[in-house]
Each structure stands twice: as C-alpha cells, then as structure tokens.
Structure 1
C-alpha cells in the first residue's frame, strides 16, 4: 500500500485498504481458476447397456458402471459380444417397445476431482455421431431429430449439449464426492413394419417381434460403420476446445471379415513358404 501521508483522511486510507484487499483476493481467485482449468482429466468408456427407458436391468448396470469407471477398471463393451474391444453387433444398439426392450450404446465419462459447477464453468459438453450410407449425423436437440453433421477437422460442430443427468459421485463411501460422472447414448428404434407380419392396429411399435429386429440389424450391418462419442470442455484461459473421443465400430459382415482375414493370411502363407 505504501506509507500514509498526513494529508490523507481515514476514509481515503480505508478505501485504499479495501482496494488492496480486493486486488489480492482477485489475484488469488484468478490463480486458482487458472490452475483448475488445466487439471480436467476425464476418462471416457463405452458399453452396450439395457434400455434406460424402462428396462429393469438398467439400474444394476449403471450402478456397476459408475463404480468401475470411477475406479479406472471399466472394460469397454464388456456387456457385448466383443468385450475389451471397440466393436459392437448391430443388435447391441437397437431398442423396441416389447420384450426386454433392447439395448443402447452408451458412453460413460468420469471427471475426477471436479464438481458439476466447475464443469459448467468450463463449458463441459457431450455429443455423439453416427453414420448411415456414408453420411455422418448428430442429434439436433431443438428439432429432436437427426441432422447432418457439420464437420471441421473431422469433429462435429453441431449437436453439442451440456449434460442434464450427471451427478457428483462418491466412489469410496466417505460422503464426499470424488468427481462427476454421467452417460449419454444412442440406439436405433425397431418398429412393426420392418418385416412381416405387419402392424395390425396402426400402432407401429406395440407388435415388434424378432423378425423386425433382425431386419433392422441387417440394415445397420449394411449401412452403418461407426458410432463416435465425444466430450469437450473449454475453461477460462484455454485458447481452444479440449476433446476426448471414443469411436466404436460395427462388426463387419462375414464376407468383409473373410476378406480382411485373407489379407493377413496371404502374407502368412508367403512367410511359411519362405521358412520351408
């Protein structure tokens, strides 16, 4: 503050002290805020999950997913046909209104050491993108429909949204949250008229059977190759968005898989012949 001159009034001195204190507090706040901006270290996982909209199996799946994601032991696609990989079968992302209600692809994010308020201040957002016949699509949350993805550098610029169902999670049971966890997902919806027998009452969803599911799975296998989950954040002091990306791929058709395998088999045969 410097020395106080005799000509200064007590009001002036008090004002100077308040200003000095405010500058100090502001500087400390800025330093803390800047430090926290560089410490967001999210993890991103994926799995095929029971249908969140009605399946009684969703609750147990989500309870286990939260615990394992926070512990760092989550295995990608562990509930599917190809655990430990980034591959999914078409039926692992198809839901319907009958029977077991089907499955959805879900991405799970875990951000240790943060609160929801801190992530909100860093503009934390999620997104997913799927392709169909060579075109990438995202979800327009205002139109409630799929729209063509607007890509810059291979990353969509539309379809982003701040999570609404994330929670502050206590992973060790000490009643103190250890971070923020949440999930977002996607599925195709099977309806009656994808295969015979067709709808008998005008409701396209209440008579979905295995033939309808199989027909949609065949279309997914034919027209889709991937589904990609994204999270991004941009804190104060960040010059650009930070991204975490996890791509999942449809298991290729049997014919494609044979061609893929034959590509490895031919060099192997040559190698064997050379060794002989």
Structure 2
C-alpha cells in the first residue's frame, strides 16, 4: 500500500527538537535564501561546499541518510537526461569545460533537493501550508498544493491496486504489442478514475460552500532562536558567494 499521510508524519519521530521548534515561516525563508545562493554559485568546488553544508545540516536535524538517498534517486534520472547530453554534445574527445558545467548543474540540483528535504521532513504539511499562508501566498495556490499533495497518495494507491489486479491475471509485463495495449488500457482507466475523483471532490467541496480559501492556524511569534537559525544558513551561503567572487 502507498504511504498515508499518517505514515509521513511518523517520519518526524527522528527529527531533533530544535529543528521541530524552528518557526515555519523563518525556516521557509532560510530555505529560499539558501537555494537562491546555491543557484548563484559559479564554481564546482564551492557548489560542493554548499552541498556538504546542506547534508551536514540535514543530518544534524535528524534526517536519515536513507531518506536523503531516496530523494536523490527521484531526481537522478532527470539529472542524467540533462547532463549526459551536455557532456557528450560536443563529440569526442569530451571537453573538460562541459564536464565541469554538467557537474555544477548536478551538484546544485542535489543541494537544492537536500534543502527541500529538510524543509518538508522537519515539519508537518499543515505547518508548511500555514507558513505559506502567513507569508501572503495567494490562497488558491495553497489550496492547489494541498489538494495535489493529498492526491499523490491516492494516485499511487490506485497504481498499486492496478498492478496487483494485473498480476492476479498473470500479466508479466515486458515490451510487446499486446502488453503495450494493456499499458494503454491501464493508463486510460487511471485517467478516467482520476477525472471522476476530481469531479466528486469538486461537487463535495461546492456542497460545503467552499470558497477556495482554507482555514489556517494563528501564526506563531518568531523568537530570537528562530532568527538565529535563519541567519546561520544565510550567512554560510553568503560567505561562500563572497569568497567565490573575491578569490575565484
């Protein structure tokens, strides 16, 4: 079965107390500033330092290495599709500049994924949505994000049920004309079920007079510890950018 929201929230058990107590808005601001700083780096060596800082921060907060590796595997195929053509696009012999540029993109993406993992796995989804609301993000965007998040678990649950049904009918997979037709039929059924579910959810929300704006909790006061936690990653990435611009 796909992970439920409760299973996701149980992952917070290993997170350190100081990370859980970090106010959601200040945490989000720190993550955004750090990501912008990482994107602005120009050299592979300093990008590696930023990646090391991000991983060290994640581990110090209690994020497991296994979870980080799982998140890296999610973006790895897309990164390979992006970087391999960059490396081989100039033909052989491969230019060193192309390798360094591809490595820079790869490391930056891994660093950003690490920081996003920190943001999403050191607080609840409700805390994250509340932080967006209190930072004046348009309500319709927050509603779409929340509904999309809820739907992901239903989507994977439907996929697993369809896989189980196919295996119970001795469908072994593989690539053939017959199997491609089966894949097409399964995709069509999944699409129709998704549209039906969206229609039912829409009617249910309309019947309850939903206006597109969710209810949010009162915002928590930001204390000096939250400010310190926000400034530490900001100062670290600012130091990297300054040193890089000065000496490189």
TM-score normalised by structure 1 residue count: 0.21
Greater strand share, structure number: 1
Instruction: Kindly indicate whether structure 1 or structure 2 has the higher relative contact order, using CA contacts under 8 Å at least 6 residues apart.
Output: 2
TM-score normalised by structure 2 residue count: 0.23
Q: Highest CA radius of gyration, 1 or 2?
A: 1
